[in-house]
Amino acid sequence: MNPAAKITAFTAALAASFGAAYGIGAAVGPGAGSAEPAESTAHAESAGPGAGDSPAGGLQITEGGYTLDLRPPRLEAAQPGELRFTIRDRAGRQVTAFQREHDKELHLILASRDMATYRHLHPTRADDGTWSTPVKLPAAGDYRVFADFTPAGENAADLTLGADLAVSGPYKAAEPPKPSRTASVDGYTVSLNGTLRPEAPEHITFSVRKDGRPVTDLQPYLGAYGHLVALRAGDLAYLHVHPDGEPGDGSTKPGPEVSFTATAPSPATYRLFLDFKHDGTVRTAAFTVPSGEATTPHPTAPSAEPEDGHGDGPSDRDEDGGHGH
């Protein structure tokens, strides 16, 4: 598969820039495909060190021994179509055992590369592990498909695999979305408070109003009052975002505010998609925000003048390090 090989090589370079060396470790690690149990206990069978630590996902078609196999990886614009795919393990077998996360075994996110179109779908899994969902996309262009799931197994970590999807038809590149902290959808106005920061978890809060009045009777959707996906402009890195609290926990109110904890993998612009449910309908509000400054300085690379010893402690310098990545 030549295109797949190209994508893998490309994303491997990106992954390296995140310091996500676990992908390589897992790929060449011992025991892959081994039928014989190790002499020691099962801890050697973990899904790979740090497999859940990276804040950015979706840049690779293969990660942690699992592969997203999208077929065919193309659709026609403005036509009802069907997306089919499988998740394969190291041995190439179709995976049929998943853990439920937010009420579903697998969340499928589609986004156009220009970040104008977004879909959050829940495909159906056949017994043999083939997933499928009807889909109709409005415009031609390059899309990214994200499969967000956790394989069965005690040590399995949440994974997001990403694959390219081509949608054919007349194409005109869209303007990138302008920065916006307020979104309107079907008479609802949603405002965003808070700032994503590189490598530091931050709370971000959305406030939902309808016809100017706060909405206080949001309905649970996927085990929360909102479901948030954040994508990085430039490469559509997929951020894991976790809701703060859940319906019925005694402290989480059904609006007007819905809050999340998210970490930006790098300084960049992010597109945020909030799904929320009210009056029986799920709607999506989209925002575009630049990330803020890092709150904790990076370990700074040693400069030209040699320092003795401690190059990796937190720096107290108050100017931003000008080092590039």
Residue ranges that bind Cu ion, judged by CB under 5 A: 107
Q: Which is nearer to Cu ion, 48 or 226 (CB)?
A: 226
Rounded to a whole number of angstroms, the minimum distance from the CB of residue 103 to Cu ion is: 8
Rounded to a whole number of angstroms, the minimum distance from the CB of residue 118 to Cu ion is: 12
Rounded to a whole number of angstroms, the minimum distance from the CB of residue 136 to Cu ion is: 18
Q: Where are the alpha helices (DSSP H) in 281-325?
A: none
Q: Which is nearer to Cu ion, 49 or 134 (CB)?
A: 134
Q: Which is nearer to Cu ion, 107 or 197 (CB)?
A: 107
Question: What's the per-residue H, E or C state across 77-97?
Answer: CCCCEEEEEEEECCCCCECCC
- DSSP category for residue 279: T
Q: Residue 264 forms beta bridges with which residues?
A: 198
Using alpha carbons, select from 210, 214, 193 the residue that is nearest to residue 256.
214
With 0-12 / 13-18 / 19 or more C-beta atoms within 10 angstroms meaning exposed / middle / buried, residue 152 is exposed
Rounded to a whole number of angstroms, the minimum distance from the CB of residue 32 to Cu ion is: 30
Q: Which position's Cβ is nearest Cu ion? A: 107
Cα separation, 23 vs 21, in Å, equals 5
Cβ atoms within 10 A of the Cβ of 242, count? 12
- In degrees and rounded to multiples of 5, residue 195 shows phi and psi of -135, 135
Rounded to a whole number of angstroms, the minimum distance from the CB of residue 189 to Cu ion is: 24
Q: Which is nearer to Cu ion, 208 or 224 (CB)?
A: 224
CA distances to 159, 279, 285 from 50, rounded to whole Å, are 12, 41, 32
Q: Which is nearer to Cu ion, 107 or 271 (CB)?
A: 107
